Chain A
Amino acid sequence: SQELEQSPQSLIVQEGKNLTINCTSSKTLYGLYWYKQKYGEGLIFLMMLQKGGEEKSHEKITAKLDEKKQQSSLHITASQPSHAGIYLCGADDSGAGSYQLTFGKGTKLSVIP
């Protein structure tokens, strides 16, 4: 079965700094989802990537899927305290759009004012 490894596990940055979170798969990624979770709450959908080389942005968050489709990165520009939370990547590895997503363990982001 597919495994997703996220790095780093946790990150503390000063407000205004840029940061990158990585998600690496043991298999080819056919659909890669990024979510954000506040502690003890539900997941908020951020972006979904399907094509190798694809890049999407929403406000100050940019996600990319590499050409070989085995790694995705999430980049936050000029971080703010509102960006704090746990970022999770989830993947559909079936190629047909299955019901089952595999998730990474998450990256905990803290932003210091």
Chain B
Amino acid sequence: ETGVTQTPRHLVMGMTNKKSLKCEQHLGHNAMYWYKQSAKKPLELMFVYSLEERVENNSVPSRFSPECPNSSHLFLHLHTLQPEDSALYLCASSQASGGAGYTQYFGPGTRLTVL
């Protein structure tokens, strides 16, 4: 499945580093999402972009900064993270319309470890 790609697949960073996660979708969708998946917790929605505008921001700390330059690309900029931010970060995309068009298709994820 190459509809949604994410890079890098694995990332180890120190608490003072700045890094970025990249997501690209090849499905012609208009909405893109960032999720965080921690051990033994449900997926947590972090950000939603529809038509390149942010429509949801679920009380995410400012050390996470999203960017959506166009409908095919989504970035998550990271700075001064904490060890508890270590998790699998998943990107997803969907059509921006209602009903079944909201089916979200996920990328393979970036496994982030903060030392």
Minimum C-beta distance from A87 to chain B (A):
13
Minimum C-beta distance from B32 to chain A (A):
10
Does A88 contact B43, Cβ atoms closer than 8 Å?
yes
Minimum C-beta distance from A108 to chain B (A):
11
Question: Count the B residues whose beta carbon is within 8 Å of the partner chain — how many?
Answer: 32
Produce 1/0 per residue, B80-107, CB < 8 A to A.
0000000010101000011111111111
Q: What residues on A are CB-neighbors of B111 within 8 Å?
A: 40
Which residues of A are at the interface with B, using a C-beta cutoff of 8 A? 4, 31, 33, 35, 40-45, 48, 50, 88, 90, 92, 96-106
Q: Can you give 28 contacting A-B residue pairs, CB < 8 Å?
A: A31-B99, A31-B100, A31-B102, A33-B103, A40-B88, A40-B109, A41-B109, A42-B1, A42-B4, A42-B106, A44-B106, A45-B104, A45-B105, A45-B106, A48-B100, A50-B100, A90-B43, A92-B102, A99-B31, A99-B33, A99-B48, A99-B102, A100-B48, A100-B58, A101-B45, A103-B43, A104-B42, A105-B42
